[in-house]
Amino acid sequence: MIETQTMETAHGRGARSSGRPVVLVVEDEAALATMLRYNLEKQGYHVEEAVDGQEALTRIAEAPPDLVLLDWMLPTVSGLEVCRQIRRRPGTRDLPVIIVTARAEDQDAVRGLNTGADDYITKPFNIEALLARVRALLRRASAMPAKGKLAFHDITMDLAAHRVWRGERALHLGPTEFRLLEFLMQHPRRVFSREELLDAVWGKDIHVEPRTVDVHIRRLRKSINGEDELDLVRTVRAAGYALDTEAA
């Protein structure tokens, strides 16, 4: 039994038909797609299908589902690329994606997860196991407020709860570092000068030395970068700072 209330997700387009969560099955093997549709519908989901990567991207752009079951090996555009594009578009950045890979190599799963998939399952799979993952992911997505959450690389910010994580690790930031990180996470990879950061984080009317920014950036770095972790704050000489995976 599906409890519609708890199954509604941040994407909320589940209301497409009677409020049931919409699962987009992207699968070029007709028999497998039919089997998935049958089982998902039995669980109360509304199922849509795409037979190749291009069709999947078009459908997602037109009306994002609540979850995507994404085959890895697809005609036209690969599952990997579909996943990449989903993550790149602001409107679908948080869309739950489960990669379905036919290849047993762990490497594919790892690549899938690196591309931003939330989970993966290897063919041939047990349908109950797959349904359990779909359920878990939808529950997780619906627990997250659509607004008030920011994510970049492995950093997640919950603005409402005022909490920050790097991966599984909770971070403890001072109030200024929190606001600084929030601002940078709203504009990832963009370089801001010290003056721009002062205006945005401290406010236009407050007179603070630009050097103050350096101090807080240093603190922020210390808080978010653990040992052996990628430095996510990029210093651009004479230009300023950015949140970036290529910090050099």
The residue ranges that bind Ca ion (CB under 5 A) are 28, 71, 73
DSSP 18: T
Q: Which is nearer to Ca ion, 103 or 139 (CB)?
A: 103
- Minimum CB separation of residue 169 from Ca ion in Å reads 36
Q: Which is nearer to Ca ion, 73 or 230 (CB)?
A: 73
- Minimum CB separation of residue 102 from Ca ion in Å reads 6
- Minimum CB separation of residue 85 from Ca ion in Å reads 18
**Six-digit token string for 80:** 């990997």
Q: Which is nearer to Ca ion, 30 or 160 (CB)?
A: 30
Q: Which is nearer to Ca ion, 33 or 180 (CB)?
A: 33
- Minimum CB separation of residue 27 from Ca ion in Å reads 6
Whose CB is nearest to Ca ion? 73
- Minimum CB separation of residue 79 from Ca ion in Å reads 8
Q: Which is nearer to Ca ion, 69 or 220 (CB)?
A: 69
